[in-house]
A and B are shown apart, each in its own frame.
Chain A
């Protein structure tokens, strides 16, 4: 039975092979998901901002660079590889830069360029059995988190009470970690996120009031981690009857998500998935009113593959993809649906099984 360290070494070896074949000796990243993949340490809750990781092609070993403030968290995580700490206090920024450069034996920025992240994304794309099991567990947590939101929903809840209900349910189910698409520039869409650092995120709320408006739509998404791996699922609650327009748009958005998932298959291009999505959407919601982020791959966070009309990536078995359809402002706070699927040899398997791609009518 491979240990967690064995599994980490296997991931590092895949990355090292990818770097070597591309002629690179080193790659560096500040992306929290990639750091987790390379080091086995989730830095999202760390106090010191700007954590980074480096991996060498020569031996596949990684270096984690974090603030001295986070030494207890690193030790608690059981980090297996080299860790470099930058100093606290007035010298923190300069110390961090020195440690980053020392970790790559040169300018950190050159090792953390876009090409490095692209190679890392490619190495992380297809999942082994252990990784898929972790994603499945995260998807199960997303389903549990959904029930925690919906079953206990009342119009007089405060937003942070919803967050607490989800946290409590997921901790009881063995989860608790969160990730966010906002960790990557391409993950930001038109619907605002609140809270950002949370498993459950309410979408499109504009100026955050902290209380619910029963007359407005309530779109939300869940971003749980299990064993360091991510899933995503979202839907929209209405606490009073929606208008016919909102209802028809929501039906089209749900159908678009289903069509996008239906188009996931080995050998399919991301552009083909987008085309299926757009076709199902029809004229009900103009594409230019849609949030442009309609899908991407998942792993230890958001991956580097986007589902869009110009996408040339080709899907392969073992990839995990989330598909989403969202329209800002519709019904007040917008309408959004999101699900997560695994690309299999035969097609795709939806991993989030409970979250409905339709309006959840709670009244």
Chain B
């Protein structure tokens, strides 16, 4: 089995760079897909209170022979939980059937704000060992700065919709300098999978375009969470360690960015 590379988060957790995304799977579909993902080698599972599938993910965690300590579990605090952070975390722990979360993300900026009130509660949860790492999702750089300014604690991970069309070298570099790992959700949904550049590179390596996108993220140090409900694709999306993109290929994919 290939060993997925990991990245060290600032509070000490080791996060696999390829995880399994579970949105929008629910119930038994979520359980079955997570079990498949763990079976084929994933060791990072990404869920959220909003996905309403933590019970299914929890059922898979209970059923898998893979030890809990080998699985990196991410879930997310919804923005309407301001003032209700602890009960929401307790509900996540109960549904997932775990005594700690490996990474707890603020899912969206509450009302477009930095969510300092929630962030303080997340820091407290990390101090109490209920979560190993904390971060945010769908946040702009200015909001990360705001959290650090208000609390002295910068998010360990910032997850956002990220694919070649969203590539921002500045966002990546600033976060790298400040110790925040960038995470990619929806890596395929937002990509142009028929782009000739991606198709050509995939053909050159005899892999799929999806594998190229996952590999491109890994080489950038971006933690990516591809999702599929089909066993073959679940396995393929993880099978990205047998090839390497060279500098020209990485630059060509970076060049697909459509950001201004």
Contact = CB atoms under 8 A, between A and B. Distances in A.
A156 B112 contact: yes
A361 B83 contact: yes
Contacts of A362: 79-80, 82, 110-113
A147 B107 CA distance: 11
B108 A151 contact: yes
Contacts, number: 42
B contact patch SS:
loop
B52 interface: yes
A98 interface: no
A147 B79 CA distance: 9
Contact of A360 (B80, B107, B113): B80
B50 interface: yes
Given A360-B80, A361-B82, A354 B111 contact: no
B111 A153 contact: yes
Interface in A207-221: none
Interface string A348-363: 0000011010001111
Contact of A153 (B50, B83, B107, B112): B112
| Among A156, A353, A354, residue most surrounded by chain B Cβ atoms (within 10 Å) | A354
A151 B107 contact: yes
Contact of B111 (A143, A353, A363): A363
Interface string B60-83: 000000000000000000111011
A239 B111 contact: yes
B39 to A, nearest CB: 29
Contacts of B113: 362-363
Interface string A143-168: 10001001111111000000000000
Nearest to B49: A354
B7 to A, nearest CB: 27
Q: Interface size for chain A: under 10, 10 to 19, 20 to 34, or 35 or more residues?
A: 10 to 19
Nearest to A156: B112
Contacts of B80: 150, 356, 360-362
Contacts of B83: 361
Contacts of B50: 147, 151
Nearest to B109: A154
Interface in A229-266: 237, 239
A353 B51 CA distance: 12
Interface in B100-127: 107-113
The contact size tier of chain B is: 10 to 19
A363 B80 CA distance: 10
B64 to A, nearest CB: 27
B112 A151 contact: no
Contacts of B109: 154
A151 B111 contact: no
B79 A150 contact: yes
Given A151-B50, A354-B52, A363 B82 contact: yes
B109 to A, nearest CB: 8
A361 B82 CA distance: 6
Contacts of B112: 153-156, 362
A326 to B, nearest CB: 19
A151 B78 contact: yes
A354 B51 CA distance: 11
Nearest to A356: B80
A155 B107 contact: no
A147 B52 CA distance: 12
A155 to B, nearest CB: 6
Given A147-B50, A354-B52, A155 B111 contact: yes
Interface string B19-60: 000000000000000000000000000000010100000000
A143 B78 CA distance: 13
A248 B78 CA distance: 24
Nearest to A146: B80
B239 to A, nearest CB: 29
Contacts of B78: 147, 150-151
A335 B224 CA distance: 41
Contacts of A356: 80
Contacts of A155: 111-112
Given A152-B108, A363-B110, 15 more contacts: A143-B52, A147-B50, A150-B78, A150-B79, A151-B50, A151-B78, A151-B79, A151-B107, A154-B109, A353-B52, A354-B52, A360-B80, A361-B82, A361-B83, A363-B111
26 contacts: A150-B80, A151-B50, A151-B78, A151-B107, A151-B108, A152-B108, A153-B79, A153-B111, A153-B112, A154-B112, A155-B111, A239-B111, A353-B52, A354-B52, A360-B80, A361-B80, A361-B82, A362-B79, A362-B80, A362-B82, A362-B110, A362-B111, A362-B113, A363-B110, A363-B111, A363-B113
